Chain A
Amino acid sequence: MRRERFVVSATGRKLAAVILAVVALGALIGLYVSSWATAVPKTIPGTPSGSSAGAPTTSLVLQTDAAVGPQESPTHPDWVSYLVKQNGRWVRSTIFKVPANSVVHVTVYQFDGDSGLRNAFLSAVQGTGGGVETVDGKAVTHIDPEEASHTFVVPQMGVFVPLPGVEDEAKNQCEYGPCDPATMAHRTIEFTFRTGKKGRYRWQCFVPCAAGTYFGFGGPMQTLGYMDGYIDVV
């Protein structure tokens, strides 16, 4: 008895190859998208620092760098970024955890130069303790909008804090982060704000500081872990 041989035509082989290629490509795209979508910075808890008027106090120490550097961002070393201090070390994250109904004391070491605000109104300090921030030890209610380098704004909490830039002529400017506040040119900005009920609150920079991107609001301005993030009030 003669056995039938299963013969696949040339068209069939081509079709199978195309289907396999499409499936493989789809899987690769799916893996890429899922890894991108789930790649968020780790949450950094604020450091408890006693209490103020009966409310617990937490400290956050941040720095802003014109270029985050290859150590903290090998893929985007030139991107402007915030860093946060954790256990004495600077790490790149913009997701912070603080207690509900507490006072948060924020110190920002600002190493970037000025860019200027697109909307000068955002140069006013709002929603902070006493309605002020201190810039290099001096309390101010607003800054010159042209001197703004970045802002720290939590819209849902009504917190608006403009951060003035380092002067162009300043010596020993930091090229890449993490920058050293002990030796490099910077401005020191301090402020406090009160948290309310539990929740996740977004924060962002309003200065168009993303060099070379559309309206200065691309790249690091639209990626968690650089110029915007969350404050998890727990």
Chain B
Amino acid sequence: MSSSGTPAGGDAVPGPSGEPNHLRRFLAIWIGCSVIATPLVAILLGPLLPPGNGSDAASGQVTDNTVLLSMATPVLLLVVVYLVYALLAFRQPRGAALEGPAVRGHQSLQTLWIVVSGVLVLTLAAYGTVRLETGYGAGSGNGPKPLTAPKGEKLPVQVIAQQWAFTYRYPTYGGVETTHLELPVGKTVELHVTSLDVIHSFWAYQLGVKADANPGVDNVAFVKPTKIETFEVHCAELCGIWHGGMFDHGHVVSDTDFESWIAEQQARFAATTKALPKYSTTYTPEPLERGE
């Protein structure tokens, strides 16, 4: 769109005299809408964004989603405002059947488009990289050797995926394995996610943790639960007939409740724990196939 009120292009036809400066008017409307909408989105909608504030990782993801949505708001408004403005300002009069002027490129507009898009994408790439670094993977799996790790004491918990259930092993509590995941509030947890068969993905929604469970791979994720709550555990990688059934509830509990629960598990599964293989970050179980 040129300042003369016609779409940009080499063959632009000058508008009739008295035509308002559409570009200036459109920019004023767009900037006005963006200035109002962006803070509203960030302040009002941001805190409601998933996955909530159940952990440091989840809170970080809410911040990330808020940043992304705030940056996307002016872009969305650019399209919507232009569409509505064009519908109202350039509506063809009833009965007229005129072709618009041909548009054959507009170098400065193209350059501006590429520069703005490039700046947005590079800014987000830089932001994402910093967040991954400062958030210790931001709730995702870091592979077997994380580049960064939170300082201080960490509770190691192994997540073992298999067709079709997750089980959990606590190496600092005698290597006991459990059918449910229970974590103490306020403690940094070092999750070691692995699989005994095919590829699964461990997704603890309210904790903001999603880490692939690959056979033979120790995928480390960090999380610090910040409030006592029940959270959902899903498998996020299609893994067979009961993939949808790989669903459970985990619990974030007080330190005292956790110690009491883990002691109960140790007593309950004492005999089975003896039969378990020695704790390892990965397992190569046999039999992999039967009858072969």
Contact = CB atoms under 8 A, between A and B. Distances in A.
Given A116-B286, A126-B179, A228-B241, A215 B276 contact: no
Interface in A136-188: 141-142, 144-145, 153, 155-156, 158, 160
Chain B facing A: main interface SS? loop
Interface centre among B167, B245, B289, B290 (most CB of A within 10 A): B290
Contacts of B275: 120, 123, 142, 144-145
Interface stretch (A6-14, A17-25, A46-54, A205-213): A205-213
Nearest to A126: B179
B272 A216 contact: no
A158 B248 CA distance: 11
B269 A121 contact: yes
Main secondary structure of the interface of A (DSSP, over half): mixed
Given A124-B272, A202-B242, A228-B241, A119 B196 contact: yes
Nearest to B215: A215
A119 B269 contact: no
Nearest to B292: A212
Contacts of A213: 289
Interface in B277-292: 277, 285-292
B289 A208 contact: yes
B271 A142 contact: yes
B218 interface: no
Contact of A216 (B179, B269, B289): B289
B163 interface: yes
A59 interface: no
Contacts of A76: none
Contacts of B271: 124, 141-142
B240 A217 contact: yes
A63 to B, nearest CB: 19
Contact of A119 (B167, B245, B287, B292): B167
12 contacts: A118-B197, A119-B196, A120-B272, A120-B277, A121-B272, A124-B272, A155-B164, A206-B162, A208-B290, A210-B290, A216-B288, A228-B242
Given A118-B197, A212-B291, A213-B289, 7 more contacts: A118-B287, A123-B275, A142-B271, A208-B288, A214-B198, A215-B197, A216-B288
Interface of A: 115-116, 118-124, 126, 141-142, 144-145, 153, 155-156, 158, 160, 202, 204, 206, 208-217, 221-224, 228
Interface of B: 160, 162-165, 167, 177, 179, 196-198, 240-242, 245, 248, 269, 271-272, 275-277, 285-292
